[in-house]
């Protein structure tokens, strides 16, 4: 049976990574969260004061990209593939509000996208892969076997994200989260390089009223259909 490439794109905070992770575990596939790569670059830029978006700083930023090495290492304890920036585990830091506020600006820079896409395409897909992001079905793997587009109402998404951050002990305001997810959707959908779009062959899932199990069951059915075709 052929191992599949599954692309999961969609709006901010629609639970793409939880679904992608659960599917990868169920089918023994590799899971890659491409958003965490853009977040890693953003964290690097914040720490190196590269985020004044003047022309000169963008070119310095692009030059500095050579100093960035991004890797994933599987953590056997929490069963999560964690992200490392130059050998430092940054799994927790990339979820901060500061990174969330700036990541879409960084992700709109074509030179940065080019590097990230190059890295994403080096992944060995033979054993099956689930990758989530914004341009996976459209740009990174246009040949993906299954393309999904997740969405949900903005209020449901903001509530889920708020609860997730509070659970992690982070101090955040609900209104800031609503603003951030709407703003990121707007920036991600309107940028000129690789905007967030719904591919013609993508299956749209509105998960506003679906549990994680509902979604896994629905997507598993789509995967089984691919196997039997
Ligand atoms: O997936 P996550 O919400 O963590 O992604 C953070 C941001 O990274 C997105 O809002 C988007 O700006 C950017 N991104 C992207 N392309 C991807 C994945 C993420 O532009 N494939």
**The pair of three-digit structure tokens given for residue 75, joined into one six-digit string:** 């953590």
How far does the centroid of ligand 1 lie from the alpha carbon of residue 156, in Å? Answer: 19
Q: What's the pLDDT score for residue 94?
A: 96
Our mutation pick for probing the ligand 1 site, out of 116, 188, 190, 195, counting the most ligand atoms within 8 A of Cβ, is 188
Pocket test for ligand 1, best of 12, 133, 193 (most atoms within 8 A of CB): 133
Distance spanning both ends of the chain, measured CA to CA: 11
**Closest alpha carbon to 132 in 148, 116, 143:** 148
Fold of 5-224: Rossmann fold (3.40.50)
Task: Compute φ and ψ for 30, nearest 5 degrees.
Answer: -80, 140
| DSSP states along 55-76 | HHHHHHHHHHGGG--EEEEEET
Residue spans of the domains in the chain: they are 5-224
Round to whole Å and give the CA distance between 35 and 12: 10
Instruction: Identify the residues whose C-beta falls under 6 Å from ligand 1.
Output: 12, 34-35, 38-39, 103-104, 107, 133-136, 184, 188
pLDDT of residue 74: 87
For residues 102-123, one letter each, b for 16 or more C-beta atoms within 10 angstroms of the residue's C-beta and e for the rest, the string is bbbebbbbeebbebbbebbeeb
pLDDT along the chain (229 residues), means of 10: 94 96 94 97 94 81 92 87 95 94 96 96 95 98 98 96 90 94 98 98 98 97 91
Phi-psi domain of 95 (left: phi exceeds 0; alpha: psi -120 through 50; beta: other)? alpha
């Amino acid at each position: 049976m052929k191992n599949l490439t599954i692309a999961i794109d969609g709006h901010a905070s629609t639970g793409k990574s939880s679904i992608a992770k659960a599917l990868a575990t169920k089918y023994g596939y590799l899971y890659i969260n491409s958003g965490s790569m853009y977040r890693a670059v953003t964290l690097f830029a914040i720490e190196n004061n590269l985020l004044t978006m003047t022309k000169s700083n963008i070119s310095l930023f692009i030059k500095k990209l050579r100093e960035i090495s991004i890797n994933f290492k599987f953590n056997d304890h929490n069963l999560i593939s964690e992200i490392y920036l130059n050998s430092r585990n940054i799994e927790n830091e990339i979820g901060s509000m500061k990174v969330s506020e700036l990541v879409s600006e960084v992700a709109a820079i074509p030179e940065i996208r080019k590097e990230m896409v190059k890295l994403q395409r080096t992944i060995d897909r033979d054993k099956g892969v689930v990758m989530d992001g914004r341009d996976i079905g459209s740009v990174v793997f246009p040949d993906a076997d299954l393309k999904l587009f997740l969405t949900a109402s903005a209020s449901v998404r903001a509530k889920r994200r708020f609860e997730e951050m509070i659970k992690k002990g982070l101090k955040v305001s609900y209104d800031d989260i609503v603003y951030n997810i709407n703003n990121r959707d707007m920036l991600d959908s309107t940028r000129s390089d690789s905007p967030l779009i719904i591919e013609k062959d993508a299956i749209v899932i509105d998960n506003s009223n679906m549990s994680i199990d509902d979604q896994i069951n629905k997507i598993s059915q789509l995967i089984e259909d691919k196997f039997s075709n």
